[in-house]
Amino acid sequence: MTTPQSTYRLQITSGFTLDDAASQVDYLARLGVDWVYLSPLLKAEDGSDHGYDVVDFSVVDPARGGPGALARLADTARRAGRGVLVDIVPNHTGVATPAHNPWWWDLLTHGRDSHYAEAFDVDWDFGGGRVRVPVLGDATGDDELDRLELVDGELRYYDHRFPVAPGTADDGAPATVVHDRQHYELVNWRRADAELNYRRFFAVNTLAGVRVEVPWVFDESHAEIIRWVHDGLVQGLRVDHPDGLADPGGYLDALRAETGAEYIVVEKILEGREALPDGWQTEGTSGYDALADFDRVLVDPAGQHPLDELETALQAEAGNANTSWEERVHAGKRSIADGILRSEVLRIARLVPRLGDPDTTADALAELLAAFPVYRSYLPLGSEHLRTAARRAAERRPNLTDRIDALLVVLADPAHPAAVRFQQTSGMVMAKGVEDTAYYRYSRLTSLNEVGADPAEFAIGTDEFHRRQQARLESFPASMTTLSTHDTKRGEDVRARIAVLAEVPAEWRATLARLRELAPLGDAPFENLLWQAIVGAWPASRERLAGYALKAAREAGLSTTWTAPNQAFETALGRLVDSAFDDTQVAQTIDAFVARVRPFGWSNSLSAKLLQLTAPGVPDVYQGSELWETSLVDPDNRRPIDYAARRELLTAIDDGWLPQVDEGGAAKLLVTSRALRLRRDRADLFTGYRPLQADGAAADHVVAFGHADSGAITVATRRPAGLAAGGGWRDTAVDTGLDATGLTDVLTGIRYDQRALPLRMLLGHYPVALLVPDGGETRGETHVR
């Protein structure tokens, strides 16, 4: 099986097409990338900047270049010796514009008699034989249905178009009467929370779930994808959101069997020490679990207590008595189960009518979902998580114990429809309740509030870091690793700077107090979260920060929400962002603190990048992150990339320029290109894993590892602010474990002969080093004995 040595993620859009991607393959090859990794390519909703709202499974999106452009890109990649990995979306389809989705249009036209009725997850009985489509606005006097028009044989509601079933509009009846004859019912958008009767992707009404567990549905929705692989256009596949499927393991079996893809990874969020099911036909995850390791080994554990105290004080000011992360998780998940995903909870309850009062059953189900410790189980695998959830739910709600016990019997049965649907739903509740809610309510150290990570885990030591890398190597050695993606809440270098707060917690507390005094908002924890984001991304434009602030506040859902915006709060929020640009005292406060932490953030950035690129797994580089990646949450992290600037800098580096750390991110480009090239061209240097030890006064400030005997060696600085405050490296040295072997740092070209390398020399120019034994690829110029 062919496995990539590395990947580089490109967001393919109408503004950056497959032909545009092909024009960058030569740059990516120079950078050291092995495989090109593409966002979803099938035809999506018009104007989609992400591609996860596929409307036609049969064709490469013309707006993204079409099938011809994919063939040209594949040919360009093949001639450059590169592979192609593509993101696919089996769980759902875009239905925002029914006329653009032939499957959905047919379903709306013919209802249960549609060829595609089996493809969608519709509870027909609950809807009275109709699909509820939540598009109607809030009535302002007249019934919203009175705004329907019958035009050219279609029902129209403003810009929305809907089909008319044959024979239902031939008698000249008014549009409202025609509507009543259809296999769908247009309803107010607010009814989706509790009354929808089709499965969605999370709570997105315009993304309808697809039943790929049905063989013909798999075949029709994957025919084009299978063609890509069989025709040699694509070598690997990344599966989006497998947790939404009825049978993820069965799906992966079919995907491997039908495509023969050489490399398959899944977007799977693992909690704690949770592992992927051993029997899955996958090489591993898309890398979020690894991201948490690289971040936390660089965080100073000494900052936990003072930052906990600050969080407690801020939450108390906001009237929150219990400030634990666990309580934030439960509250977030329960609010989602009772709110935007109540339709899913009630649907599970309808599958177990004999248990008694449906409201009590729904209450117990919501409590089980809120208490579920991982995204989902894969019964019978993971039944222990269900038992854990039942115990926790009963402890919190003893009045529900009997109903929980009764549900436990049903939900533990892999064949019961309620168990299947509960497993599909628990991941939705976790994602919306934690990633999109609790992450925005918990402000202790927001670099830890990242997809796939547990904010309760503040830091890890080097021993635990090494254990996790060895575990990845032993279990899923080809699993992806990442630092930034299209879904991360903060770009890798924003997180790297925020992590420095753990080293200077008192200074941050004073700075935050000053900023809150100058620009009050009235939501203490959120102010902490927002000012951390501003400091982490600074300098950033007013527009970017305003967009982030509004999205973050509405996701938190405490002072304002998406469905009921608090205009007074949002106006004050806008003033806070403006103050960073218009208020001299605020700007000076920000500038002063950023100047204090910026060099240490850069050190963390280079360390995290080198750790990720050289640790076990297949490292992915998100588009543009070979320079400083200071994006915030989407859509900010999907901005266009200036590849011309990157080409120019890479040429200068290849011509012998050794950039300083503060020269516009060029040092990161040096680290990225040298690590990627070495990993691609000398894969033999990256087999195995050897933790390396350091001795001396500053030994706690370095993390280092090698690979098999005579393999590459990675050395990276950790907790740089504390290192500087303690007087630097002094007598600290790292033991390479290699006798009588010369080593050259591929970043600087300096050659060393010692087994124990003094870090004041090794890390004198950069906070990281990548060493290769004699015979490896080097820049080699300087010799140190």
* Angle formed by the axes of helices 325-338 and 358-371, nearest 10°: 140
Q: 58-107 pLDDT, tens per residue?
A: 999 999 999 999 999 999 999 999 999 999 999 999 999 999 999 999 99
Beta bridge partners of 133: 186
- Give the pLDDT score at 323: 75
Q: Is the pLDDT of residue 283 over 80?
A: yes
Average pLDDT over residues 16-25: 98
Instruction: Return the structure tokens found at 185.
Output: 């019912």
Q: Is the pLDDT of residue 784 over 80?
A: no
The letter for the amino acid at 468 is: R
Average pLDDT over residues 752-767: 95
| Residues 394, 680: Cα–Cα separation, whole Å | 52
Q: In terms of Cα–Cα distance, which of 32, 109, 27, 21 is closest to 678?
A: 32
Instruction: Return the structure tokens found at 427.
Output: 């991941």
560 close to 584: Cβ distance less than 8 angstroms: no
In 33-153, beta strands by DSSP E: 35-38, 42-44, 54-60, 83-88, 92-94, 131-136, 149-151
491 close to 538: Cβ distance less than 8 angstroms: no
DSSP 354: G
| Confidence band for 138, pLDDT divided at 50, 70 and 90 | confident
The letter for the amino acid at 150 is: L
- Give the pLDDT score at 738: 87
The letter for the amino acid at 130 is: R
Q: 319 vs 67, 315, 522, 525, CA distance in Å?
A: 56, 6, 11, 11
* Angle formed by the axes of helices 666-681 and 584-614, nearest 10°: 10
Q: 356-413 pLDDT, tens per residue?
A: 999 999 999 999 999 999 999 999 999 999 999 999 999 999 999 999 999 999 999 9
Q: 144 vs 69, 176, 181, 562, CA distance in Å?
A: 44, 10, 17, 22
Indicate the average pLDDT of the chain. 96
| Residues 590, 531: Cα–Cα separation, whole Å | 9
Residue for token pair 């630097």: 728
- Give the pLDDT score at 782: 43
> Who's near 271: CB < 8 A, 6+ residues apart?
373, 374, 375, 454
Q: In terms of Cα–Cα distance, which of 616, 568, 674 is closest to 3?
A: 616
| Confidence band for 783, pLDDT divided at 50, 70 and 90 | very low
> Who's near 393: CB < 8 A, 6+ residues apart?
364, 367, 368, 370, 371, 400, 404
696 close to 731: Cβ distance less than 8 angstroms: yes
Q: 302-352 pLDDT, tens per residue?
A: 999 999 999 999 999 999 887 789 999 999 999 999 999 999 999 999 999
554-568, 626-640, 721-735, 736-750: segment of lowest average pLDDT: 736-750
Residue for token pair 């691609």: 680
| Confidence band for 777, pLDDT divided at 50, 70 and 90 | low
High-pLDDT (> 70) share of the chain, %: 98
Instruction: Return the structure tokens found at 562.
Output: 């998406």
The letter for the amino acid at 346 is: L
Q: Is the pLDDT of residue 48 over 60?
A: yes
Q: In terms of Cα–Cα distance, which of 274, 208, 224 is closest to 55?
A: 208
- Give the pLDDT score at 284: 97
720 close to 683: Cβ distance less than 8 angstroms: no
**What 3-state DSSP class applies to 55?**
strand
Average pLDDT over residues 262-276: 94
- Give the pLDDT score at 243: 97
- Give the pLDDT score at 322: 78
Q: In terms of Cα–Cα distance, which of 436, 22, 425 is closest to 199?
A: 425
| Residues 300, 719: Cα–Cα separation, whole Å | 6
| Residues 172, 183: Cα–Cα separation, whole Å | 19
- Give the pLDDT score at 518: 98
Q: In terms of Cα–Cα distance, which of 57, 142, 143 is closest to 100?
A: 57
| Residues 574, 528: Cα–Cα separation, whole Å | 16
Question: What is the chain's alpha carbon radius of gyration, rounded to the nearest angstrom?
Answer: 27
Q: 665-714 pLDDT, tens per residue?
A: 999 999 999 999 999 999 999 999 999 999 999 999 999 999 988 899 99
Q: In terms of Cα–Cα distance, which of 461, 66, 435 is closest to 267?
A: 435
- Give the pLDDT score at 734: 97
- Give the pLDDT score at 709: 82
Burial class (CB in 10 A: 0-12, 13-18, 19+), 571: exposed
Q: How many CB atoms lie within 10 A of CB 184?
A: 21
Q: 187-209 pLDDT, tens per residue?
A: 999 999 999 999 999 999 999 99
Q: 147-177 pLDDT, tens per residue?
A: 999 999 999 999 999 999 999 998 889 999 9
- Give the pLDDT score at 329: 95
* Angle formed by the axes of helices 505-518 and 584-614, nearest 10°: 140
Q: Is the pLDDT of residue 116 over 80?
A: yes
Q: Is the pLDDT of residue 551 over 60?
A: yes
Average pLDDT over residues 455-477: 97
| Confidence band for 781, pLDDT divided at 50, 70 and 90 | very low
Q: 500-540 pLDDT, tens per residue?
A: 999 999 999 999 999 999 999 999 999 999 999 999 999 99
**What 3-state DSSP class applies to 741?**
coil
